[in-house]
């Protein structure tokens, strides 16, 4: 007599997807013919045996083998009496994305990176990963098991630490896509001021019913407001962004010209003094250079005031200390009975910048210097011919209310001088040849 025993082996991630059956059927074959079958379960520790089997048949040793009834979704492999059933568990990818709601990092406090941790049923999986702008603030964990012990795994992602100044929110769009949203409400500020009148209580009756105050942010006009006696000659601009790209915004105010009055600005207090026949002009420099990203902005510039195209007074310097703005007072309002046209020009050219002038608001002139970051120049084609048709911008008689681009350099005259030199050299060569031939004839 003999004994045939064996074991069932499962390769299915510890029944990860819950597909393993409660029992299987193992068949016993003698010389290829089934003679018995047995049900095998986990209670048997997936082991089986066939006892008291004859060893010989008509004097020959019987060849005993085993087989298994098909198990759905499993592949069976038999080696001797060991039956191995293999199941390939389903895998998924988990995607995480970081979204920033901070008005494009207006306050400049967004970190350069954050770390996130993957969890499965609140247990850490692997090490934290780093999200940055370089990787698009995204990451994918690939080939993760979908189930464990037949139950779907609940994956989640958390930030490793809080981001100062931000509130974090989690949104799971589906079981594989997770969005972490960090929200920061940018700081706001308020600019408030008062209009003062130095006109002996409007003794001459020239005080206007209203004036216009302009608000400038880093030299650019962003708002304006009418101010009247009903407002007690006070004004305010509310809910203004405090920062731009992390840099504190420099707010200044100007005033449109008030006839027969000269304007003096001290911070946000604007004083108008009654000066019959006199006026004042405010000039402000604005820089359009992406916050001086190329580092070529000068520490100061100089400007010259003009009255009807003629210089008025000395050159005035604008710099960061005076907030790039200055008001010129005690200017004549009229000449020969006509209103004087006041303009301002930069003295010299700021290298790398083009300047434009805006005098739309009378008495409030804005000079904008624009710089476009350098780009890698393309290699010139040897056969190309550079264009020499460059127009010189006219800046001698700027018109109020128009934008004028200054600083275009005249190109040097080309061709004429070079042609003169060629004529001279050619004449000398002809003369030398003639002398040589004359000497040769004499000989």
**420 — pLDDT class (breaks 50, 70, 90):** low
Residues 223 and 169 in one domain: no
Residues 108 and 154 in one domain: yes
Q: Report the pLDDT averaged over residues 282-311.
A: 91
Q: How far apart are CA 160 and CA 129, in angstroms?
A: 9
CA nearest neighbour of 184 among 172, 168, 160: 168
Q: What is the pLDDT of residue 292?
A: 86
- 281 contact partners, CB below 8 Å, separation of at least 6: 257, 305, 327, 328, 331, 342, 344, 363, 365
Q: What is the phi/psi pair of residue 177, to 5°?
A: -120, 120
Q: What is the pLDDT of residue 360?
A: 75
What is the domain-level CATH number for residue 165? 2.60.40.1140
Asked, for residue 428, whether it belongs to a domain, the answer is no
Asked, for residue 69, whether it belongs to a domain, the answer is yes
- 153 contact partners, CB below 8 Å, separation of at least 6: 120, 121, 144, 145, 146, 147
Q: What is the pLDDT of residue 400?
A: 30
Altogether, the residues listed in the chain come to a count of 443
Asked, for residue 108, whether it belongs to a domain, the answer is yes
Asked, for residue 389, whether it belongs to a domain, the answer is no
The residues that bridge with 189 in the sheet, in sequence order, are 240
Q: Report the pLDDT averaged over residues 48-72.
A: 93
Is the Cβ–Cβ distance between 344 and 398 less than 8 Å?
Answer: no
Q: How far apart are CA 149 and CA 158, in angstroms?
A: 25
**424 — pLDDT class (breaks 50, 70, 90):** confident
Residues 267 and 338 in one domain: yes
| Domains held by the chain: number | 3
For the ranges 103-107, 372-376, 419-423, the one whose mean pLDDT is highest: 103-107
Q: How far apart are CA 297 and CA 159, in angstroms?
A: 40
Q: What is the pLDDT of residue 210?
A: 95
Q: Report the pLDDT averaged over residues 358-383.
A: 69
Place of tokens 């934008």: 403
Residues 22 and 71 in one domain: yes
What is the domain range of residue 269? Answer: 188-370
């Amino acid at each position: 007599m003999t004994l045939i025993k064996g074991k069932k082996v499962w390769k299915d991630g510890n029944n990860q997807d819950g597909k393993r059956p409660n029992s299987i059927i193992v068949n016993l074959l003698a010389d290829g013919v089934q003679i018995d079958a047995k049900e095998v379960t986990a209670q048997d520790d997936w082991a089986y045996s066939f006892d008291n089997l004859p060893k010989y048949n008509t004097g020959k040793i019987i060849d005993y083998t085993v087989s298994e009834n098909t198990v759905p979704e499993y592949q069976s492999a038999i080696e001797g009496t060991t039956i191995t059933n293999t199941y390939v568990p389903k895998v998924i990818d988990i995607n995480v994305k970081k979204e920033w709601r901070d008005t494009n990092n207006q306050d400049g406090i967004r970190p350069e990176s954050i770390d996130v941790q993957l969890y499965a049923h609140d247990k850490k999986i692997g090490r934290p990963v780093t999200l940055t702008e370089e990787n698009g603030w995204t990451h994918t964990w690939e080939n993760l098991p979908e189930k464990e012990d037949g139950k779907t795994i609940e994956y989640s992602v958390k930030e490793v630490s809080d981001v100062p100044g931000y509130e974090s929110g989690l949104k799971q769009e589906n079981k594989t896509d997770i969005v972490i949203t960090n929200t920061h409400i940018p700081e706001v500020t308020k600019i408030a001021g008062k209009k003062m009148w130095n006109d002996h209580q409007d003794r001459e009756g020239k005080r206007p019913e209203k004036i216009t105050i302009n608000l400038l942010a880093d030299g650019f006009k962003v708002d304006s407001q009418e101010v009247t006696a009903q407002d007690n000659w006070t004004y305010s601009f509310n809910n203004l962004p405090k920062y731009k790209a992390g840099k504190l915004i420099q707010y200044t105010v100007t005033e449109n010209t008030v006839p027969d009055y000269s304007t003096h600005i001290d911070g946000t207090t604007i004083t108008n003094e009654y000066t019959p026949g006199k006026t004042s002009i405010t000039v402000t420099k604005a820089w359009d250079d992406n916050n001086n990203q190329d580092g070529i902005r000068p520490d100061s510039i100089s400007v010259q005031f003009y009255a009807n195209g003629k210089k008025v007074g000395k050159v005035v310097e604008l710099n960061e200390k005076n907030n790039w703005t200055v008001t010129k007072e005690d200017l004549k309002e009229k000449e020969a009975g006509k209103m004087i046209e006041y303009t301002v020009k930069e003295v010299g050219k700021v290298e790398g910048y083009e300047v434009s002038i805006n005098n739309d608001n009378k008495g409030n002139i804005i000079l904008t210097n624009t710089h476009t970051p350098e780009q890698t120049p393309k290699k010139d084609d040897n056969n190309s011919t550079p264009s020499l048709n460059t127009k010189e911008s006219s800046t001698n008689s700027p018109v109020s209310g128009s934008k004028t681009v200054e600083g275009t350099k005249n190109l040097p005259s080309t061709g004429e001088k070079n042609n003169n030199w060629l004529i001279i050299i050619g004449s000398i060569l002809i003369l030398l040849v003639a002398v040589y031939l004359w000497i040769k004839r004499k000989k």
